[in-house]
């Protein structure tokens, strides 16, 4: 099976933090501006928290949230502990602090908060911020996954696949992948596409269903799914061919920075598939892919056949497309 690479999704490692900006300065100065760029927050993510600290977090007042949550966290409130861990992990209003994040995630995980179990479990697997403990990590990820946490379900399924736990483990992994996919997680939707395409965990290959999962993940802006879905549409795999629609999906992935999509888009422009043939546009997209380290012998031969003027135009076009 071509599975999604094992993703370490701990907030400290990969979650994007908000830049230090006016919202953080407002917190330090005690002001109450209202025009704040704040992340969307699932109200159930930290556990049972509906208090002033959570309200401050939702509005982007991270230092205020931290101050309000700390007494409750120190008194053992798991929701407040998870909130504090999140702030330190993402560096919201304060510098990122792995030690503080791990400490509070661990405390909340012990009390059964799925988000904390996921994040601390991933830290234990990673071993960069706390001492590595695969068995403890597995226990925490499994508990969070069984609590219907989509990210935990996906990561636990990834762990099962990585462990190579045989047919029974594959079947269990597929169940968690599917639950996460149906909850709307694009990583899991892409994994389900691979499972359906190749037949894993006792599932018979089903190209039609695989294409449906690719489409779902592509629509959620998962660029690898956009790449594959576009290719399947062009080739007519898993359903009727639609070169124009396939071209559009590949272009979307290419414009988003996917290097493989840029190369495939170049080939479509070169051959006039789904779009009118345009050698300059083809060369420009290939130049972008090549600058990112992708070298395609077929496209290199194509580039050698361009006129000097076409090459110049393509280079200029590629420079504008950065």
DSSP 112-135: T-HHHHHHHHHHHHH-SSS---HH
Indicate whether 258 belongs to any domain.
Answer: yes
Domain boundary among 147, 181, 202: 147
In a shared domain, residues 104 and 227: no
Confidence of residue 90 (pLDDT cuts 50, 70, 90): very high
| Residue 322: domain span | 221-322
pTM for this entry: 0.83
Instruction: Determine the distance from the C-alpha atom of residue 71 to the mean position of all C-alpha atoms in its chain, rounded to a whole number.
Output: 34
Residues 200-259 pLDDT 10s: 888 899 999 999 999 999 999 999 999 999 999 999 999 999 999 999 999 999 999 999
Domain boundary among 94, 127, 147: 147
Confidence at residue 202, expressed as pLDDT on a 0 to 100 scale:
85
**What average pLDDT score do residues 117-134 get?**
96
In a shared domain, residues 38 and 135: yes
Give every CB contact of residue 82 below 8 A, 6+ residues apart in sequence. Answer: 45, 46, 47, 49, 104, 105, 108, 113, 115, 116
Q: Give the DSSP H/E element, type plus range, for residue 187.
A: helix 186-198
In the chain, the percentage of residues whose pLDDT exceeds 70 is: 84
Confidence at residue 113, expressed as pLDDT on a 0 to 100 scale:
96
CATH number at residue 306: 1.25.40.10
Tell me the C-alpha distance between 142 and 44, whole Å: 19
Indicate whether 53 belongs to any domain.
Answer: yes
In a shared domain, residues 235 and 137: no
Instruction: Determine the distance from the C-alpha atom of residue 2 to the mean position of all C-alpha atoms in its chain, rounded to a whole number.
Output: 17
In a shared domain, residues 9 and 135: yes
Count up the domains in the chain and report the number.
2
Confidence of residue 32 (pLDDT cuts 50, 70, 90): very low
In a shared domain, residues 92 and 232: no
Both tokens assigned to 91: 């560096």
Indicate whether 174 belongs to any domain.
Answer: no
**What average pLDDT score do residues 92-101 get?**
96
Indicate whether 62 belongs to any domain.
Answer: yes
In a shared domain, residues 6 and 109: yes
Both tokens assigned to 252: 């979307």
Confidence at residue 167, expressed as pLDDT on a 0 to 100 scale:
84
Residues 157-216 pLDDT 10s: 999 999 877 888 899 999 999 999 999 999 999 999 999 999 988 889 999 999 999 999
Confidence at residue 166, expressed as pLDDT on a 0 to 100 scale:
81
Torsion angle of the four alpha carbons 195, 196, 199, 201, in this order, in degrees rounded to the nearest 10:
50
pLDDT at 100 over 80: yes
Residues 49-73 pLDDT 10s: 557 899 999 999 999 999 999 999 9
pLDDT at 1 over 70: no
Indicate whether 98 belongs to any domain.
Answer: yes
Residues 267-294 pLDDT 10s: 999 999 999 999 999 999 999 999 999 9
Residues 104-113 pLDDT 10s: 999 999 999 9
Indicate whether 158 belongs to any domain.
Answer: no
Could you tell me which of 141, 138, 122, 118 has the C-alpha nearest to residue 130? 122
Tell me the C-alpha distance between 123 and 131, whole Å: 9
* Number of helices followed by number of strands (H, E) in the chain: 18, 0
Confidence at residue 50, expressed as pLDDT on a 0 to 100 scale:
59
Place of tokens 């933090």: 17
pLDDT at 14 over 80: no
């Amino acid at each position: 099976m071509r599975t999604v690479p094992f993703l370490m999704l701990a907030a400290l490692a990969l979650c994007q933090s908000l830049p230090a900006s006016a919202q953080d300065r407002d917190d330090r100065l005690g002001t109450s501006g209202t025009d704040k760029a704040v992340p969307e927050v699932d109200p159930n993510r930290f556990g049972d928290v509906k208090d002033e600290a959570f309200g401050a977090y939702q509005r982007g007042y991270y230092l205020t949230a931290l101050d309000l949550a700390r007494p409750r966290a120190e008194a053992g409130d798991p929701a407040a502990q998870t909130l504090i861990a999140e702030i330190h992990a993402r560096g919201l209003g304060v510098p990122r602090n792995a030690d503080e994040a791990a400490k509070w995630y661990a405390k909340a995980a012990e009390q059964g908060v799925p988000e904390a179990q996921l994040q601390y479990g991933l830290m234990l697997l990673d071993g960069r911020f706390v001492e590595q403990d695969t068995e403890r990590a597995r226990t925490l990820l499994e508990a969070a996954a069984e609590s219907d946490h989509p990210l935990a379900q996906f990561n636990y399924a990834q762990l099962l696949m990585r462990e190579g736990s045989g047919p029974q483990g594959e079947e269990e992994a597929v169940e968690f992948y599917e639950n996460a996919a149906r909850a709307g997680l694009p990583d899991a939707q892409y994994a389900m596409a691979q499972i359906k395409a190749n037949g894993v965990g006792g599932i018979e290959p089903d190209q039609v269903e695989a294409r449906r999962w690719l489409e779902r993940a592509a629509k959620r802006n998962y660029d690898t799914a956009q790449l594959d879905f576009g290719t399947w549409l062009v080739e007519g795999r898993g359903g009727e061919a639609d070169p124009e629609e396939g071209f559009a999906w590949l272009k979307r992935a290419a414009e988003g920075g996917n290097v493989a999509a840029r190369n495939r888009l170049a080939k479509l422009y070169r051959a006039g598939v789904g779009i009118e043939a345009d050698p300059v546009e083809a060369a420009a997209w290939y130049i972008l892919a090549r600058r990112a380290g992708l070298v395609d012998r077929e496209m290199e031969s194509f580039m050698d056949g361009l006129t000097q003027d076409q090459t110049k135009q393509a280079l200029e076009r590629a420079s504008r497309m950065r």
